[in-house]
Amino acid sequence: MDKDKKPKKPKKPHQVYTLLIEVGRKEGDGLPEGATGAALVCYASGVDEAEAVRETVAILRQADLAPLDVSGYGSLDERLDQGHDIPSEERELMGRALAENSVIVAQMTPFFDDAREGAKH
Protein backbone atom coordinates (compact mmCIF):
# COMPACT_ATOMS: atom_id res chain seq x y z
CA MET A 1 0.00 0.00 0.00
CA ASP A 2 1.28 3.46 -0.93
CA LYS A 3 2.18 5.56 2.13
CA ASP A 4 0.87 8.75 0.51
CA LYS A 5 -2.64 7.37 0.02
CA LYS A 6 -4.81 7.62 3.07
CA PRO A 7 -8.03 5.69 3.26
CA LYS A 8 -10.89 7.98 2.33
CA LYS A 9 -13.14 8.99 5.16
CA PRO A 10 -16.81 9.06 4.34
CA LYS A 11 -17.90 12.65 3.82
CA LYS A 12 -20.15 14.01 6.53
CA PRO A 13 -23.27 15.64 5.14
CA HIS A 14 -23.52 19.39 5.53
CA GLN A 15 -26.27 20.92 7.59
CA VAL A 16 -27.35 24.52 8.04
CA TYR A 17 -26.89 26.12 11.44
CA THR A 18 -28.58 29.23 12.79
CA LEU A 19 -26.08 31.66 14.29
CA LEU A 20 -26.47 34.99 16.06
CA ILE A 21 -23.30 37.08 15.71
CA GLU A 22 -22.63 40.29 17.57
CA VAL A 23 -20.25 42.63 15.76
CA GLY A 24 -18.43 45.73 16.96
CA ARG A 25 -17.35 48.75 14.96
CA LYS A 26 -14.52 48.76 12.47
CA GLU A 27 -13.61 51.32 9.83
CA GLY A 28 -15.38 50.53 6.57
CA ASP A 29 -17.88 48.14 8.16
CA GLY A 30 -20.90 49.73 6.48
CA LEU A 31 -22.90 50.04 9.70
CA PRO A 32 -25.05 53.17 10.12
CA GLU A 33 -23.46 56.30 11.53
CA GLY A 34 -23.78 56.38 15.30
CA ALA A 35 -24.19 52.60 15.62
CA THR A 36 -22.04 50.95 18.27
CA GLY A 37 -22.29 47.53 16.61
CA ALA A 38 -24.92 45.13 15.34
CA ALA A 39 -26.49 41.72 15.70
CA LEU A 40 -26.62 39.48 12.63
CA VAL A 41 -28.77 36.39 12.19
CA CYS A 42 -26.96 34.04 9.81
CA TYR A 43 -27.65 30.65 8.29
CA ALA A 44 -24.37 28.86 7.68
CA SER A 45 -23.59 25.52 6.07
CA GLY A 46 -21.10 23.15 7.68
CA VAL A 47 -20.41 19.55 8.63
CA ASP A 48 -20.87 20.67 12.24
CA GLU A 49 -21.69 23.85 14.10
CA ALA A 50 -18.01 24.60 14.85
CA GLU A 51 -17.18 24.63 11.14
CA ALA A 52 -20.21 26.84 10.41
CA VAL A 53 -19.02 29.30 13.08
CA ARG A 54 -15.43 29.36 11.75
CA GLU A 55 -16.57 29.95 8.17
CA THR A 56 -19.04 32.66 9.18
CA VAL A 57 -16.50 34.55 11.30
CA ALA A 58 -13.95 34.38 8.46
CA ILE A 59 -16.45 35.72 5.92
CA LEU A 60 -17.58 38.54 8.22
CA ARG A 61 -13.95 39.56 8.78
CA GLN A 62 -13.40 39.62 5.00
CA ALA A 63 -16.42 41.95 4.79
CA ASP A 64 -14.68 44.37 7.21
CA LEU A 65 -16.95 43.47 10.13
CA ALA A 66 -15.60 42.84 13.63
CA PRO A 67 -17.24 39.69 15.12
CA LEU A 68 -17.24 39.80 18.93
CA ASP A 69 -19.53 36.96 19.99
CA VAL A 70 -21.30 34.03 18.33
CA SER A 71 -24.29 32.14 19.70
CA GLY A 72 -25.29 28.92 17.97
CA TYR A 73 -28.91 27.79 17.87
CA GLY A 74 -28.32 24.43 16.18
CA SER A 75 -29.30 22.82 12.91
CA LEU A 76 -32.79 22.88 11.43
CA ASP A 77 -33.53 19.42 12.88
CA GLU A 78 -32.21 20.43 16.30
CA ARG A 79 -34.33 23.57 16.29
CA LEU A 80 -37.43 21.61 15.29
CA ASP A 81 -36.73 19.10 18.07
CA GLN A 82 -36.61 22.05 20.50
CA GLY A 83 -40.06 23.16 19.33
CA HIS A 84 -38.97 26.24 17.35
CA ASP A 85 -41.51 27.53 14.84
CA ILE A 86 -39.56 28.08 11.63
CA PRO A 87 -41.45 30.03 8.93
CA SER A 88 -41.17 29.11 5.25
CA GLU A 89 -39.06 32.23 4.45
CA GLU A 90 -36.48 31.13 7.01
CA ARG A 91 -36.51 27.55 5.65
CA GLU A 92 -35.96 28.91 2.12
CA LEU A 93 -32.89 30.86 3.26
CA MET A 94 -31.58 27.76 5.05
CA GLY A 95 -32.11 25.71 1.88
CA ARG A 96 -30.20 28.30 -0.14
CA ALA A 97 -27.29 28.26 2.34
CA LEU A 98 -27.15 24.47 2.07
CA ALA A 99 -27.44 24.39 -1.74
CA GLU A 100 -24.75 27.06 -2.16
CA ASN A 101 -22.59 25.82 0.76
CA SER A 102 -22.59 29.40 1.95
CA VAL A 103 -23.39 31.85 4.71
CA ILE A 104 -26.61 33.85 4.40
CA VAL A 105 -27.04 36.99 6.52
CA ALA A 106 -30.79 36.95 7.07
CA GLN A 107 -31.09 39.95 9.37
CA MET A 108 -28.93 42.79 10.68
CA THR A 109 -29.99 44.92 13.64
CA PRO A 110 -27.68 47.87 14.44
CA PHE A 111 -27.11 48.85 18.07
CA PHE A 112 -27.21 52.47 19.18
CA ASP A 113 -25.96 53.44 22.65
CA ASP A 114 -28.39 56.20 23.56
CA ALA A 115 -28.07 55.32 27.25
CA ARG A 116 -24.38 56.25 27.27
CA GLU A 117 -25.14 59.79 26.09
CA GLY A 118 -27.70 60.21 28.87
CA ALA A 119 -25.22 58.88 31.45
CA LYS A 120 -22.77 61.75 30.88
CA HIS A 121 -23.09 64.40 33.55
End-to-end Cα, the chain, rounded Å = 76
Nearest residue to 103 (alpha-carbon basis) of 43, 25, 31, 22: 43
Instruction: Render pLDDT for 61-106 as a digit per residue (tens, 0 to 9).
Output: 999 999 999 999 999 999 999 999 999 999 999 999 999 999 999 9
- pLDDT bin (cut points 50, 70, 90) of residue 113 is confident
Q: How far is CA 47 from CA 22, 43, 105, in A?
A: 23, 13, 19
100: number of Cβ within 10 Å: 10
The yes-or-no verdict on residue 120 having pLDDT over 50 is no
How many other CB atoms are there within 10 angstroms of residue 14's CB atom? 18
Q: Residue 2's pLDDT is what?
A: 53
Q: What is the pLDDT of residues 6-35, one digit of tens each?
A: 666 667 889 999 999 999 999 999 999 999
- The predicted model scores a pTM of 0.83
